[in-house]
Amino acid sequence: MASNKLTYRKSGVNIRKADSFVKFISSVTRKSSKSGDFKNIGGFGAISKIPSKLNDPHIVTSTDGVGTKIEIANDLNKFDTIGIDLVAMCVNDLIVQGAKPYLFLDYMSVSKIDLDKLKNLVKGIIKGCDLSDCKLVGGETAEMPGTYTKGKFDIAGFAVGLVEKKKILNKKIRNNDLILAVPSNGLHSNGFSLVRYLLKKKKINLKKNKFLKSELIRPTKIYVKEILDINQKNLINGCANITGGGLVDNIQRIIPKNLGAEINLNNIKTLKIFSWLYKMGISEKEMLKTFNCGVGFCLIISPKNIKLVTQYFGEKFKPYIIGKINKNLKKIKISGKISW
């Protein structure tokens, strides 16, 4: 006879599945070389040893999500790379300050636990942590029936980085410094609400479009290794992660109030996905405000260091000049036009 007693499971929450998922995370993180010295997964809090080789360490923190790119993952039923995006969105902010990513935690909220989906999400997060040379030390998975419709979910990340005081960036920008564009590998994780609106308006079937399927799910480029290597050599005066708000807004955030900058859009080397979006009817102004348009990261350096800096990047992500710092300007002056 079926029990009439009220249970948590009857409300839609399956603790056994949640426990099984925690055991899976614990097993896969132990296999990673970045898993740390302590058994953190499944505990009440993560413990990590502070590196002893830092003389004057400062903590840098960042938290972010991947926005509605998760809906692309749902549409394509592909979840093994969205975790890389999650890590990238956090650690690419840390390195703007010169910090080395050290710890990462994730938060997943779902309508109902789907072990296969969640395992793929975690595999992506671990891959992102490996690419960033940081440790996944904990997180939270919340099963929230009634909050999300069937199959829907959200993810968020939290990262901690460490930097020596003398290596902190964005306080060294000078007049006549060059602004270099480091190429993106696509949309990264910004502007997807607009992309999805366009797909709906144009009645484009994503599953049947090979080009868009590849472009829209491609994980965000992680710039950790290149930026930290350059910073170790004291070759960066400042840098910016080009995310929501685009090129102008993100560069403006790091330029001292007594300085301005000029950027020539003629120099920007865009990518096919951005050309496609532009030709589908999105204005250049909206493109520049919403997307990275092919520039995933920006470096501000002394002109004498350009040859040294470019040597740290592979051919696909080789930085190139798009502008310079100008003491006679108090804002960012844009000239030219992207060749779409």
Characterize the bridge pairing of strands 135-143 and 100-110: parallel
Yes or no: say if 94 and 218 are a contact pair by the CB < 8 Å rule.
no
pLDDT at 263: 97
CATH 3.90.650.10 boundaries in the chain: 178-186+221-335
Q: Cα separation of 254 and 193, whole Å?
A: 27
Query: DSSP assignment of 170-191, as one string?
Result: SS---TT-EEEEEE-SS-TTSS
In this predicted structure, the answer to whether residue 97 has a pLDDT above a threshold of 70 is yes
CB burial of residue 30 (10 Å; 0-12, 13-18, 19+): exposed
Give me the mean pLDDT over the 50-63 stretch.
Answer: 88
How large is the angle between the packed helices 192-201 and 210-217, nearest 10 degrees? 160
Percent of the chain with pLDDT over 90: 74
CATH 3.30.1330.10 boundaries in the chain: 9-166
Give me the mean pLDDT over the 48-74 stretch.
Answer: 91
pLDDT at 26: 63
**pTM as predicted:** 0.89
pLDDT at 51: 80
Q: Which residues contact 159 (CB under 8 A, 6 or more apart)?
A: 61, 62, 63, 87, 90, 91, 93, 94, 101, 103, 104, 105, 134
Which tens digits make up the pLDDT trace of 203-247? 999 999 999 999 999 999 999 999 999 999 999 999 999 998 999
In this predicted structure, the answer to whether residue 151 has a pLDDT above a threshold of 70 is yes
Q: Look at the domain 178-186+221-335 and name its fold.
A: Phosphoribosyl-aminoimidazole Synthetase; Chain A, domain 2 (3.90.650)
Q: For domain 9-166, give the CATH superfamily.
A: PurM-like, N-terminal domain (3.30.1330.10)
Q: Cα separation of 267 and 321, whole Å?
A: 7
